[in-house]
């Protein structure tokens, strides 16, 4: 399933890295490098070196080599062997975080005296992006248990079709994170930004929207959350010191499991202030990227129509998308986005690309 460019192997003998195929099996990573014997790295031998642009690992079974996994392979590894991400002592991320926390003693003082909610934002600011990416990989792995990823050739084609628009809105060279994007097979129209640049859009969303610019507008809103690191702030606010301790100590990871499974992802909800700012940023970002900003208003309207249709289906049976439930002033937000006015830009994606996106989760 993994394409050749999903993983790179540095074997310590040749100068460069080679593209290899990596299989995430029951108890080991199986590495197929062209023209040589298969390498087996048991999960118990793995050590995470760092994260950022992918996940870098080594194995005591093959001490000279280093392996870099794509975020999608790293997600698979998290699902197969979550311990790899939390055991084995402190890695560089955690040491960097401890250093940052020491330097940010004032913010820690704020935690002790005013409690986490008000200190959540300062805590985000002193958290190194690499530590946030590690957390994002964990959260993304957990979220996949609730919202299964759309997989297979159509999902891959759809992710590729969405790339040009994501790249227009987000230039990772100037941002703390690479953007990792995928579709989830869930009927509720929703999109979510997780810590560390992980963004997800549901099947329900692409079925509910009827123009690629509306999809771009939803993505612009999520990308604004990524840039503002809102998800991490939200998690600090709701999970507080437990999360902080987990990040610092590389603890059992239990705190992080509890966040999503007990909270049913509600801990990823944002405050009204964060939402308002993400809307404003999205409108500016769309205009700067020459994508029609009024598409944000249309996206809201489509989702409102969807949710009005659901209410007749019987209360308690649907869970309202985060997009509307944490956005109580939807009418006001529509008005605001309409006020920017149609800029007469061409459609952000071809009809063909849009069809490919809409088929992301149909096998």
Q: Give the 3-state secondary structure of residue 181.
A: strand
Q: In this structure, what is the dihedral angle of CA atoms 149, 155, 156, 161, given to the nearest 10 degrees?
A: -120
User: What's the burial of 63, exposed, middle or buried (CB within 10 Å: 0-12/13-18/19+)?
Assistant: exposed
Q: How far is the CB of 291 from Zn ion (least distance, A)?
A: 18
Closer residue to Zn ion in complex, CB, 98/276? 276
Q: For 204-225, b where at least 16 C-beta lie within 10 A, e where not — what string? A: bbbbbbebbbbbbbbbbbbbbb
Closer residue to Zn ion in complex, CB, 157/276? 276
Closer residue to Zn ion in complex, CB, 149/225? 225
Name beta bridge partners: 58: 47
Closer residue to Zn ion in complex, CB, 65/228? 228
Q: How far is the CB of 35 from Zn ion (least distance, A)?
A: 48
Q: How far is the CB of 250 from Zn ion (least distance, A)?
A: 30
Round to whole Å and give the CA distance between 286 and 16: 39
Q: How far is the CB of 236 from Zn ion (least distance, A)?
A: 17
Closer residue to Zn ion in complex, CB, 28/278? 278
Nearest residue to 143 via CA among 69, 194, 209, 109 = 194
Q: How far is the CB of 333 from Zn ion (least distance, A)?
A: 10
CA 194 to chain centre: 4
Closer residue to Zn ion in complex, CB, 159/275? 275
Name beta bridge partners: 9: 18, 67
| Helix, strand and coil percent figures for the chain, each rounded to 5 | 55, 15, 30
Q: How far is the CB of 293 from Zn ion (least distance, A)?
A: 16
User: What is the DSSP secondary structure assignment for residue 345, as one 8-state letter?
Assistant: P
Closer residue to Zn ion in complex, CB, 192/349? 192
Q: In this structure, what is the dihedral angle of CA atoms 335, 337, 338, 342, given to the nearest 10 degrees?
A: 180
Closer residue to Zn ion in complex, CB, 97/278? 278
Q: How far is the CB of 299 from Zn ion (least distance, A)?
A: 12
Q: How far is the CB of 61 from Zn ion (least distance, A)?
A: 44
Q: How far is the CB of 275 from Zn ion (least distance, A)?
A: 5
Binding site for Zn ion (CB under 5 A): 275, 278
Question: What is the rounded end-to-end Cα distance, in angstroms, of the chain?
Answer: 15
Closer residue to Zn ion in complex, CB, 278/357? 278
Beta strands in 132-276 (DSSP E): 180-184, 191-193, 198-202
- Neighbour count for residue 9 (Cβ, 10 Å): 21
């Amino acid at each position: 399933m993994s394409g050749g460019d999903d993983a790179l192997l540095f074997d310590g003998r040749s100068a460069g890295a080679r593209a290899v195929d990596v299989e995430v099996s029951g108890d080991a990573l199986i590495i197929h490098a062209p023209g040589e014997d298969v390498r087996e790295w048991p999960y118990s031998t793995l050590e995470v070196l760092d994260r950022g642009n992918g996940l870098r690992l080594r194995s005591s079974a093959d001490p000279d080599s280093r392996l870099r996994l794509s975020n999608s392979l790293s997600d698979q590894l998290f699902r197969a062997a979550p311990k790899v991400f939390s055991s084995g002592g402190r890695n560089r991320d955690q040491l960097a975080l401890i250093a940052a926390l020491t330097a940010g003693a004032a913010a820690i003082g704020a935690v002790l005296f005013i409690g986490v909610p008000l200190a959540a934002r300062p805590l985000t600011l002193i958290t190194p992006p690499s530590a946030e990416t590690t957390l994002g990989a964990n959260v993304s792995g957990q979220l996949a248990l609730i919202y299964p990823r759309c997989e297979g050739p159509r999902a891959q084609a759809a992710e590729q079709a969405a790339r040009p628009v994501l790249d227009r809105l987000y230039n990772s060279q100037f941002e703390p994170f690479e953007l990792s994007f995928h579709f989830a097979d869930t009927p509720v129209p929703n999109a979510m930004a997780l810590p560390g640049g992980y963004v997800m859009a549901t099947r329900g969303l692409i079925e509910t929207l009827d123009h690629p610019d509306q999809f771009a507008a939803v993505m612009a809103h999520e990308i604004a959350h990524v840039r503002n690191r809102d998800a991490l702030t939200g998690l600090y606010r709701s999970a507080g010191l437990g999360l902080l301790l987990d990040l610092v100590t590389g603890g059992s990871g239990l705190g992080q499991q509890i966040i999503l499974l007990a909270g049913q992802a509600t801990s990823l909800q944002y405050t009204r202030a964060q939402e308002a700012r993400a809307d404003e940023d999205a409108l500016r970002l769309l205009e700067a990227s020459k994508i029609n900003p009024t598409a944000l208003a249309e996206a809201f309207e489509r989702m409102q129509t969807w949710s009005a249709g659901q209410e007749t289906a019987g209360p308690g049976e649907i869970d309202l998308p985060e997009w509307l439930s944490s956005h109580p002033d939807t009418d006001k937000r529509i008005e605001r986005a309409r006020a920017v006015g149609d800029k007469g830009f061409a459609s952000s994606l071809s009809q063909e690309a849009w069809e490919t996106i809409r088929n992301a989760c149909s096998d």
